Structure 1
């Protein structure tokens, strides 16, 4: 359905937690009236973490009928929260919040100059080979295939498909086709040669043929029935579409089954919209009604009104969506031309000056990653102060200059107090606090692609040499496990750095909970893009403190206080009677203190010692490691975090302490993604363990497996089907005989 305004984009401006219950309902009613889905309403509602209840949107959706509430309600809400319609005049200057729709974007070819590419029927017509090639190209053996051979006829005489079949696997169909002696009808059922037959290009769950029954969002259909066939063929190839199969429909169109490899339905919709937009801009007049993932396409290997439906080609264009997307994005750009190294060999341009010497240059990007208890926000406040004062941050000297600290997590009062507390604990005089600006956005933050232009506009005149964004999960746009979406997200940091000429330093959490049997400190949250994007990646890893080391630290703290007290009370006694060995013994120093100090003074010292011992117990130890793009690798920096500041371990106490994993920090926190085979093996093993555990209580059911594994019954059913070693009947699960 075409919309004058994309209401989903307007919802980005509306925070559901700011609406009352009736206003929230009105948004749902407006979405339904304008033809959107309950999933759209629910995805937006999830942003209200306090009131959101899974499934509530779908239950209320069915009751929204004839309420008279339209998309204008959403438009008005969006206006109330800062959205402005795109109504430009020639005399009006663009604002930073404005979006520019460049009609030349993504144009690769000129259809007026492209020559058509002829389509030829196969010389040796082999229906079984046509269909098996199609199945082998698009499906795994265990995936269910939807197909239709039966039709019904409208009053106008047009043949339309029925729902067809959906409960047979590709492997089963291929085996039966190869045994059919060329008779496709004996396997699929006879089809009407006037109408042809259809097949669904995405695998199904074996329960139906709706979008909800699509189990993997692998492919999208690109079809045009208003253009010359040869022209369609040529444009699709010139566009380098990542086509898995190209099928002639037997009439006036070509069906391109394009690889989109989306992680979920939401990403599928976004990728298909992008795909269709590129096709249209390049002169391919495609049928926009083919967007849904459960769509039928023409089945190769059958005849239609005297013409054959056949495969034109397989696996052409770019090998996958990612490479095609990157290629398209790079076609129309304002990038500079390549330069000859000869022109600059004897006159090299100056490198950007350092911001953090030996670590980060001005105008470059740095990511700090670590678990929540590492005190990352305090470390970034320490960095802000070090830049403002031109002081040292941990082990690195900083260039003095102005810094903008974008606070997305703390309330305003807490943020201001933290800066003052850290200044005090560091022992620094606030001589240059005018170099620090704090932008408090808790409860007011917007997605990063909308925040970036607002930030640039406010910062343009302030000559910041650093912008610190803490933390980024508050402004994430898209699925943080999606490489292409996170690449778009991190590109916003490049825009800020380029426009302002300042460094961008951002903070991200390690993922929560266990992953693959490892602790949360073993993996950083989200896509590997976070590991590759920054020029400097700083990672904080906690060190395991032994009881022996803690007791040693307690003793050192106690001895230092005893030594100071005895010296101040009677220096002559200290000089004559307290040797170096005594100064290393708590019991000996306690005896000396009893001889020299009054009871009141001794009580005071012991009270101070108790406080120091407590502080030793509550502080944590950390190792800073990282990878740098512009500088040589640095030696790990060990430090203590004792609220509210970090202090470098210059004494070397922590140098021999090992973290809880022998893996390098960068690899531990940003692991390589598992392959599909590895994930399948892991899922099979998980199912086997769950089944064995549930047999203890008697019969095993889908519900018991679902509860044990922490996934939905639908997911359990899919894993059972993929495993192949179990059966399911009326909700009961059993093991197949070997």
Structure 2
């Protein structure tokens, strides 16, 4: 977890009682992954009535890591779900030097022309206030206001401030009715105010029970006020920004009070929108008083006097009509998106397509995802691809354009990574003629989240003339929750930035979700949000094929034949001695070799044959499927992973094999069925292992049938049957012991 968020601060915004059991465990796993102690998890867990002393420490000992670790991003996601709003959104990458974005800048305050604020021609105090109430409130909504004031000294200056909470139990409709009948004497309706201090009114409706933020019944408006510049300039900027102002009031002092439409659903959304509003105002030269953020805040009441100055309405319903319209307009002003173009203008002069990088799969400047389960050799597959591009050779069944490539290694230590490249070169049988075309950036233990890594990568790759960059694997650089579509969309946008800035293809790999994958489409196998599969221009997906014993015997036969041929080729001229059928029979080949070779040569050949058989035993079968945006769909490609390389199955023996989940249920069940002796042995070993584990956990104290039931996931009757079958345990009153 990078320093974008203080995890302890984020954790304080999560109520453990609102999480289910798995959510609680995930928080613990994330804290351990990020280097925190169990004490942090334990203290936080105490806020839940389900807390049990010692349970955190017990669980903590079982967190040994996983292929897909639970990171601090999970804690951030839980906090968001419970209403926490980060001080800023880290989803968008900053520039190399973290310069502040110009997004939202509409006005250059140093050039804006002042705009006059016109005084009302006819002073009608009651009319001013009635207009204010009719603009901001429904007839049945309660209005808060204060007319009493007192003078206090603040920073060496005297200032008039509200003397009390004021009134908050009268509706807008009632006030309008009374003001309409007061003959201009608003004091007879509201109470007399001190003309030196003026009067105040709350711009959001209240529940009639108080004047705190919790008493706000509808979060309609926010106050924008700045008294650090001329009032005419304030007026100009407010107009230029097209703020959705419901009512613009002259304070009778040095500022205008803009009552801006917010229309938030609740207080949490209100805070978020006000933060955004104030940020835009600040960027455009309108410094806002931060104390005005509260939804229950008082604003200057129009229709009253303040030190011989009128508090009056300047205008109503100016700028954009709603918050939504205004925000969309703001975000459209500074975007760097191109303007729409007419197809008619380019029809006879279409731009050239990006050059092909991998024939039939991927163009330069595009993105490709390689997805697959663990043990599929995804890293080796990407190394094979890097070498094929560097040498301008074929990768599996696809020809590659020759050029420079960067391999970003996030998982392996430097020595292991470099040895892998050499091992793959040797296994492919290729001469390393273009090693200068391969750059490796080793970042194990030094990686950053992708939004931070992208600008660093761009800086290092600039002017290197790469045609592709491989990032392996992406779980090391994921920011946010991989199941969140919007967060993963932000994450994948970083790849777009690398593609656009460098003009390179970006190739990365991701793991499959848990469970059987054979019954799913290739686009639905990758773990997390569907964004992963739908974002890249090319998706290459690997799924394992379940080989049969007969098939593996065929491969062993072929390996023996190949070993014999290779040895004979190195020592003799022999091809005309055997028929084509004999060349495909390991028995015939071995018989021929025994006649042809002396005992020393035969011993050397047998060593080669044993090594070949061992390699066959380690081989796994795979099928590559794909979804392409730029090219037509290719036929599934079958291959063997013969460590350390993948070899295309040219014989076609893998063509008829179905992935495990696609095979008929009777066939799957039959192949997994154990004979009675194997099943009995497995039950005995499971019972012994779980008994010893519980005994150790209980510090040598008793083990109960109930504990064995929980550990093994079986009923009490089943556990008792296992114990009786084993014969090496006794049971007394629910306690289990080992016989001497």
Question: Structure 1 pair 97/226, CA: closer, same or farther in 2 (3 Å)?
Answer: closer
In the alignment, what sits opposite 1:416?
A: 418
In the alignment, what sits opposite 1:467?
A: 469
Question: Structure 1 pair 493/549, CA: closer, same or farther in 2 (3 Å)?
Answer: same
> Match of 1:652, SS?
coil
Q: Deviations over 1:32-52 (max 9, x none)?
A: 7xx994869x98994762844
**8 Å contact kept, 1:640–1:649:** yes
**8 Å contact kept, 1:409–1:442:** yes
In the alignment, what sits opposite 1:56?
A: 40
In the alignment, what sits opposite 2:431?
A: 429
Quote the offset at 1:274 in angstroms. 5.7
In the alignment, what sits opposite 1:97?
A: 97
Quote the offset at 1:332 in angstroms. 3.3
Q: Which among 498, 501, 504 is matched to residue 499 of structure 1?
A: 501
Distance 2:549 2:411 in 1: 35
- Paired residues in the alignment total 483
Query: 1:9-88 to 2 correspondence within 5 Å?
Result: 11-12=3-4, 37=12, 46=30, 49=33, 51-54=35-38, 56=40, 59=43
> Match of 2:613, SS?
helix
Tell me if 1:224 matches 2:219: no
**8 Å contact kept, 1:225–1:287:** no
Once the two structures are overlaid, the 10-residue window that deviates more, 95-104 or 400-409, is 95-104
Question: Structure 1 pair 330/481, CA: closer, same or farther in 2 (3 Å)?
Answer: farther
In the alignment, what sits opposite 2:405?
A: 403
Give the superposed CA RMSD. Answer: 5.4
In the alignment, what sits opposite 2:189?
A: none
Distance 1:327 1:369 in 2: 39
Question: Structure 1 pair 288/385, CA: closer, same or farther in 2 (3 Å)?
Answer: farther
> Match of 2:489, SS?
helix
Query: 1:660-699 to 2 correspondence within 5 Å?
Result: 660-662=660-662
Quote the offset at 1:522 in angstroms. 7.2
Question: Structure 1 pair 523/357, CA: closer, same or farther in 2 (3 Å)?
Answer: closer
> Match of 1:373, SS?
coil
Distance 1:600 1:533 in 2: 59
In the alignment, what sits opposite 1:630?
A: 630
> Match of 1:355, SS?
strand
In the alignment, what sits opposite 2:60?
A: none
Distance 1:324 1:393 in 2: 52
Distance 2:546 2:510 in 1: 22
Q: Deviations over 1:323-358 (max 9, x none)?
A: 999997555312121111111111111111111111
Distance 1:709 1:343 in 2: 71
In the alignment, what sits opposite 1:599?
A: 599
**8 Å contact kept, 2:522–2:625:** no
> Match of 1:661, SS?
helix
Q: Deviations over 1:36-81 (max 9, x none)?
A: 94869x989947628444552563999xxxxxxxxxxxxxxxxxxx
Distance 1:116 1:648 in 2: 78
In the alignment, what sits opposite 2:366?
A: 364
In the alignment, what sits opposite 1:183?
A: none
Question: Structure 1 pair 428/235, CA: closer, same or farther in 2 (3 Å)?
Answer: same
Q: Deviations over 1:93-119 (max 9, x none)?
A: x97232223252699xx9x99x99965
> Match of 1:610, SS?
helix
In the alignment, what sits opposite 2:448?
A: 446
> Match of 2:542, SS?
strand
> Match of 1:602, SS?
helix
**8 Å contact kept, 2:406–2:468:** yes
**8 Å contact kept, 1:638–1:654:** yes
Quote the offset at 1:433 in angstroms. 0.8
Question: Structure 1 pair 275/448, CA: closer, same or farther in 2 (3 Å)?
Answer: farther
Distance 2:638 2:359 in 1: 18
The alignment's TM-score, normalised by the length of structure 1, stands at 0.54
Distance 2:11 2:572 in 1: 84
Query: 1:204-243 to 2 correspondence within 5 Å?
Result: 223-224=221-222
Distance 2:596 2:410 in 1: 54
**8 Å contact kept, 1:370–1:541:** yes
**8 Å contact kept, 2:522–2:626:** no
Quote the offset at 1:560 in angstroms. 3.4
Q: Deviations over 1:294-340 (max 9, x none)?
A: x999xxxxxxxxxxxxxxxxxx9899xxx999997555312121111
**8 Å contact kept, 1:279–1:286:** no
Quote the offset at 1:478 in angstroms. 1.4
Q: Which among 330, 344, 365 is matched to residue 346 of structure 2?
A: 344
Give unpaired runs (5+ residues) of structure 1: 1-7, 14-26, 63-93, 128-154, 162-190, 203-219, 239-251, 261-268, 298-315, 664-702, 711-738
**8 Å contact kept, 1:368–1:506:** yes
In the alignment, what sits opposite 2:684?
A: none
**8 Å contact kept, 1:225–1:286:** no
Query: 1:273-422 to 2 correspondence within 5 Å?
Result: 275-281=273-279, 330=332, 332-422=334-424
**8 Å contact kept, 2:412–2:444:** yes
Q: Deviations over 1:638-677 (max 9, x none)?
A: 11111111111122221212222349xxxxxxxxxxxxxx
Once the two structures are overlaid, the 10-residue window that deviates more, 192-201 or 421-430, is 192-201
Quote the offset at 1:596 in angstroms. 3.6
Tell me if 1:534 matches 2:536: yes
Distance 2:423 2:11 in 1: 50
The alignment's TM-score, normalised by the length of structure 2, stands at 0.54
Question: Structure 1 pair 611/343, CA: closer, same or farther in 2 (3 Å)?
Answer: same
Quote the offset at 1:515 in angstroms. 9.9
Distance 2:380 2:632 in 1: 26
Distance 1:117 1:625 in 2: 66
Q: Deviations over 1:356-396 (max 9, x none)?
A: 11111111111111112111111111111111111111111
Question: Structure 1 pair 296/639, CA: closer, same or farther in 2 (3 Å)?
Answer: farther
In the alignment, what sits opposite 1:480?
A: 482
Query: 1:651-730 to 2 correspondence within 5 Å?
Result: 651-662=651-662
**8 Å contact kept, 1:224–1:286:** no
Give unpaired runs (5+ residues) of structure 2: 16-25, 47-93, 117-130, 143-162, 170-205, 226-237, 247-258, 283-287, 298-320, 664-705, 714-740
Distance 1:361 1:117 in 2: 62
In the alignment, what sits opposite 2:646?
A: 646
In the alignment, what sits opposite 2:552?
A: 550
Question: Structure 1 pair 355/328, CA: closer, same or farther in 2 (3 Å)?
Answer: farther
Distance 2:332 2:550 in 1: 58
Greater Cα radius of gyration, structure 1 or 2: 2
In the alignment, what sits opposite 1:586?
A: 586
Question: Structure 1 pair 598/656, CA: closer, same or farther in 2 (3 Å)?
Answer: same
Quote the offset at 1:430 in angstroms. 1.4
